[in-house]
Amino acid sequence: MVRVVDELDLDADGATLTAALTDIASVSGEEKPLADAIERVLTRLPHLAVDRFGNTLIARTSLGLPERVVLAGHIDTVPHAGNFPSSFDPERTRLTGCGTSDMKSGVAVQLRLASGLRAPSRDVTYVFYECEEVDVARNGLYRLSRSDPSLLGGDFAVLLEPSGGAVEGGCQGTLRATVTATGARAHTARSWMGRNAIHEAGAILELLRAWVARRPVVDGLEYHGGLNAVAISGGVAGNVVPDSCVVTVNYRFAPDRSAAEAEEYIRSLFSSWEVSVLDVAGGALPGLSAPAAAAFVAAVGGTPRAKLGWTDVARFAELGIPAVNYGPGIPETAHTSGEYVEVAAIAECESRLRAWLS
Amino acid sequence: MVRVVDELDLDADGATLTAALTDIASVSGEEKPLADAIERVLTRLPHLAVDRFGNTLIARTSLGLPERVVLAGHIDTVPHAGNFPSSFDPERTRLTGCGTSDMKSGVAVQLRLASGLRAPSRDVTYVFYECEEVDVARNGLYRLSRSDPSLLGGDFAVLLEPSGGAVEGGCQGTLRATVTATGARAHTARSWMGRNAIHEAGAILELLRAWVARRPVVDGLEYHGGLNAVAISGGVAGNVVPDSCVVTVNYRFAPDRSAAEAEEYIRSLFSSWEVSVLDVAGGALPGLSAPAAAAFVAAVGGTPRAKLGWTDVARFAELGIPAVNYGPGIPETAHTSGEYVEVAAIAECESRLRAWLS
């Protein structure tokens, strides 16, 4: 039986709130129930002005302080993988479930700060946005950066993406493209009259299996690229040699390579086939030498490392706002069926951000 | 613009009738308009008793003759491939279009004989059936052989499948199975945490590309097996390393191998993966030494050869009725976008069958 949770209690501890957020399903495109629940609690907080765009919410203090910071997080998840709803282990040290790390725990920290910090040391803009896990064109933060960029203005931004409690600088870019193998149809009873496009696609998969990732060091942080088939499809009928097979690949690239360079690389790598680029989002250089970033790193402590996932840090970089990733989730578990978050990490992240903003 | 043809003229020549039949689309599962049109013309022929089961039609003479023969053909086609409607070449020697060879030209010959042979030398049962190009369970002849086998009774059967005007003996068996590669999900930004099932499926495709067909000689006729991927699918989301990739294969095997042996062979060949057999239909031995088959071959002439496609000859073999393939279509063009039939071959086939039955 699936638990039905539709009211959020911001006075509960961060882990309890994370569980409640996790148990309101919000696979990309289906965030409305969760956005509604978040809107209900935010509009009860008198020190915040709340705006809504689709399933994206912005809540802001307006205290006239000399600095404004942005705390942002996406509210969607990848599709469930037998890991919904969430569950605590018996000792309550760990919460398992789809989105616990990526990034309902970060959203829980945002909400706890939004509720508790009535008089922060800097004006704060909280952003809760939709569709981060899908096409860039649907991304709530991207859309807002195009329609109302002034709402995202600030001196520094923190994305509460899973970073294992470390400050993660920059982010890798991501590109998706289809690579199409072609053939010639024939009846399978005389398949030698045709050319099987699915068999031809074997060469694409061989190339993917043999591919070796670059691991460049950029501004002192080591990145690690990736190239994966994320979908494959082909076939006409059960007795027809198929004439087309489409492999969708996702290329992750370190921020020393631009979006244009990444596209050129993929077209060259798969030059034997028809390549169609579906979407591409450039990465962001670490930028930890910017004064605002350095001040934040000093306040929360720890040793910065490279962010391997693409995050909307790149979006803030485009707007000229220094930004880092800093959140309680464990990036290595994101998008896996065993996704979990450590309970202690949620409180730790909240406490450090609260200290920085108090 | 697609021509709309819904009335059939059985007095037109066989090629014109083939074009009319081709231009009533009848992709498997969508045969109703064509079955309706055939039913309308058959029920106007007073010497025939007509029965309908779904989109399958049976028309029989009942002259009390000592021999009864069955002329059977399927009315469905594979999906169109930019080859609908049909077209004649300027010299009108060739008709191109989806189903012209497989097997609207054979159906045209059946209809011309049904209309013209008011007093045949043998009682004749004409069968026009649905869903030959898809799962065995939907095959109209298969269903009839289970529900009303007595309607299919006879001393000899001719399937008007494309055989290039030659008598083709026996048929190859066909088996479909899924072969599943598995992996472990991970975020594509750290793909080394998972195992990409689509990449793993590359080994299945390699095996298919390297596979070499057996070409056994059975009862003097040479067969030629085949093994093809006919579908492939996999993928979870654009940023997830997928944990499953399913390859559907179609195995065509000579009639010296039973359905059970074919299944065992495929399970053994793909023993590194999970194999699930979707359907299997055994072949049929040539059986040209049976008296009725030998008499037919003598009457229509030519040198018999092996039938490579699976045909419902095997269905008649199950019912204990000797059967051969003999039709005007060109099997090598079946299921290709360039499918065509020679106009002269349609008249030739009709003329030889008419002589045999007069």
Provide DSSP, A86-133: -EE-TTSSEEESTTIIIIIHHHHHHHHHHHH-SS-SSEEEEEEES--S
Contacts of A255 in chain B (CB under 8 A): none
Which of A205, A227, A337, A339 to mutate against chain B (most B CBs within 10 Å)? A205
Residues 6+ apart with CB under 8 A from B44: none
Contacts of B252 in chain A (CB under 8 A): 188-189, 191
CB contact under 8 A, B237 and A331: no
DSSP 8-state secondary structure symbol assigned to residue A139: -
Cα(B198)–Cα(B193) distance, rounded to whole angstroms? 15
For B54, the token pair is: 């779904």
DSSP 8-state secondary structure symbol assigned to residue B101: I
CB contact under 8 A, B250 and A239: yes
Which of B228, B247, B313 to mutate against chain A (most A CBs within 10 Å)? B228
Instruction: Identify the pLDDT of residue A310.
Output: 83
Which alpha helices (H) appear in B148-219, and where do they start and end? 197-210
CA dihedral A169, A173, A174, A179 (to 10 degrees): -150
**A302, A26, A178: which is closest to B238 by C-alpha?**
A178
Cα(B250)–Cα(B206) distance, rounded to whole angstroms? 16
For A332, the token pair is: 């290595």
Contacts of A235 in chain B (CB under 8 A): 229-233, 248
Cα(B357)–Cα(B351) distance, rounded to whole angstroms? 10
Angstroms from A163 CA to nearest CA on chain B: 13
Closest chain B CA to residue A309:
B189
CB contact under 8 A, B238 and A205: no
Per residue in B149-187, pLDDT (tens digit) is 999 999 999 999 999 989 998 889 999 999 999 999 999
Q: Which among B226, B231, B242 has the least Cβ separation from residue A189?
A: B226
CB contact under 8 A, A234 and B232: yes
Cα(A279)–Cα(A288) distance, rounded to whole angstroms? 27
For B58, the token pair is: 């049976």
For A325, the token pair is: 């990733």
Q: Is residue B39 helix, strand or coil?
A: helix
Instruction: Identify the pLDDT of residue A20.
Output: 97
pLDDT per residue rounded down to tens, chain B (358 residues)? 344 557 899 999 999 999 999 999 999 999 999 999 999 999 999 999 999 999 999 999 999 999 999 999 999 999 999 999 999 999 999 999 999 999 999 999 999 999 999 999 999 999 999 999 998 889 999 999 999 999 999 999 999 999 998 999 888 999 999 999 999 999 999 999 999 999 999 999 999 999 999 999 987 889 999 999 999 999 999 999 999 999 999 999 999 999 999 999 999 999 999 999 999 989 988 878 777 778 888 888 888 998 888 889 889 988 888 889 999 999 889 999 999 999 999 999 999 999 999 9
Q: From the first residue on, what is the mean pLDDT of each consecutive set of 10 residues in chain A (358 residues)?
A: 68 97 97 97 97 98 94 97 96 98 98 96 96 92 94 94 91 95 94 96 97 91 95 95 98 95 98 97 83 82 86 87 92 93 97 93
For A190, the token pair is: 């005389």
Task: Tell me what ipTM this predicted complex has.
Answer: 0.71
Cα(A54)–Cα(A74) distance, rounded to whole angstroms? 13
Indicate the pairing of strand B87-88 with strand A56-60. unpaired
Angstroms from B135 CA to nearest CA on chain A: 8
Instruction: Identify the pLDDT of residue A222.
Output: 93
Provide DSSP, B289-349: TSHHHHHHHHHH-S--EE--S--THHHHHHTT--EEE--SS-GGGTTSTT-EEEHHHHHHH
CB contact under 8 A, A230 and B241: yes
Cα(A224)–Cα(A172) distance, rounded to whole angstroms? 8
CB contact under 8 A, B235 and A235: no
